[in-house]
Every structure is written in C-alpha cells, then in structure tokens.
C-alpha cells in the first residue's frame, strides 16, 4: 500500500504546482496588460497636449512638405565652351569659360534651345566686353554670372513696359548661371 500512496501524493502535488504556475502566468499577463494600458494612456495624453499647443505648426508643416513634394529636381543645360578676347590691359588676354544654366523646369529647355544662336551671341558680346582684372576676384565672377543670367532671361522673356512706361525685367526661366570651367590667360 505504501507503493500506492506515493503516486497519489505525486498526483496531488502536480495540480498544486500547475495551479501555482497558472496563477503566476495570469499575474504576469495582467501586469503586462496594465503596464501597456498605462503607457498607452500616457502617450495619448501627450499627443493631445501637443495637438492643442502646436496646431498652427501642424497646418504650416504640410504646406512646406507639399512644396517640396511638388518641386521637381533641378534641370541643367550645359553650353559649349566660350573662348573670347578680353579688353587688353597688359597685352592680349583670353577668357575660356564653360557654362551650365539652371532652369526652373524642363519646359524652359525648349524655349532656351529655340533662342540658342541669339543667346550664344549675347554671351560672347558680354564676355568680350570685360577686363581680366574685373573677372579675377570672386565678386567679379559672381557679378558676371548675374549679368549673364539677366541677359539670357531677357532674350527668352523680353522685358515689358509697365503703365508708367518703365521697362520691367521679366523673371525668366534661368535660375542661375554656373561656371564649370573658368580660365583667364
């Protein structure tokens, strides 16, 4: 009988252990659920506080994102090399320059190509009217780039007169003139 008593005792301990294990698992799950609920409530409260405080910022942010999303990648047009004689100061001096034009959009490329002979002519005239001493400093190159931009834009979109009879320069499709090579000899 002693042999029979041992299995009964082991069987009685097994339900006690499984009940304890079940209680521990249920308690752990309950703790996790409560912690998750508490975290959710805290995060939800901070979201509402931010919504109330930053309502003006949220309305401004999507507008900025829309502009960036609508903005197309820049369009560049490379022009052939220009080699011109500069106004002599100390003998003959030459300027060799390669330009790249940044356009507002790809549709402006057709308008530029349609006027390319006139654009090249006016660039040559503008470059050959400069002295080397004007072009050597950084400011000289920046001024030249701006003058080229205005000249090219005036060819593509000629200036118009306003109601007072004054000439108003059109914006034009050229955003900037970039030098990819600039050599003075």
Write out the DSSP string of 27-68.
Answer: HHHHHHHHHHHHHHHHHHHHHHHHHHHTHHHHHHHHHHHHHH
Task: Determine the 3-state secondary structure of 75 from DSSP.
Answer: strand
Place of tokens 């931010």: 50
Choice between 72 and 131, residue whose per-residue pLDDT is larger: 131
Exposure pattern of 86-103 as b/e (b: 16+ CB <10 Å)?
A: beeeeeebebebebebeb
pLDDT, tens digit (0-9, with 9 covering 90-100), for 137-165: 999 999 999 999 999 999 998 877 777 87
Reported as type and span, the H/E element at residue 170 is none
How far is residue 103's CA from residue 173's CA, in Å, rounded to a whole number? 6
Query: Which residue, among 149, 41, 168, 138, has the nearest Cα to 100 in the 3D structure?
Result: 149
Q: So what's the pLDDT on residue 139?
A: 96
Indicate whether 12 pLDDT > 80.
Answer: no
């Amino acid at each position: 009988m002693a042999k029979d008593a041992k299995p009964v005792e082991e069987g009685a301990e097994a339900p006690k252990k499984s009940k304890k294990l079940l209680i521990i698992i249920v308690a752990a799950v309950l703790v996790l659920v409560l912690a998750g609920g508490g975290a959710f409530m805290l995060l939800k409260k901070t979201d509402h506080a931010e919504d109330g405080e930053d309502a003006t910022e949220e309305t401004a942010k999507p507008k900025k994102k829309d502009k960036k999303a609508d903005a197309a990648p820049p369009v560049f047009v490379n022009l052939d090399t220009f080699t011109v004689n500069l106004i002599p100061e100390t003998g003959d001096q030459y300027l060799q320059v390669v330009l790249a034009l940044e356009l507002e959009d790809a549709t402006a490329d057709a308008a530029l190509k349609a006027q390319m002979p006139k654009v090249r002519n006016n660039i040559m005239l503008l470059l050959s009217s400069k002295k080397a001493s004007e072009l050597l400093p950084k400011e000289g190159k920046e001024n030249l780039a701006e003058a080229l931009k205005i000249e090219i834009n005036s060819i593509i979109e000629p200036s118009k007169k306003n109601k007072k009879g004054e000439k108003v320069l059109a914006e034009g499709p050229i955003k900037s003139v970039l030098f990819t090579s600039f050599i003075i000899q």
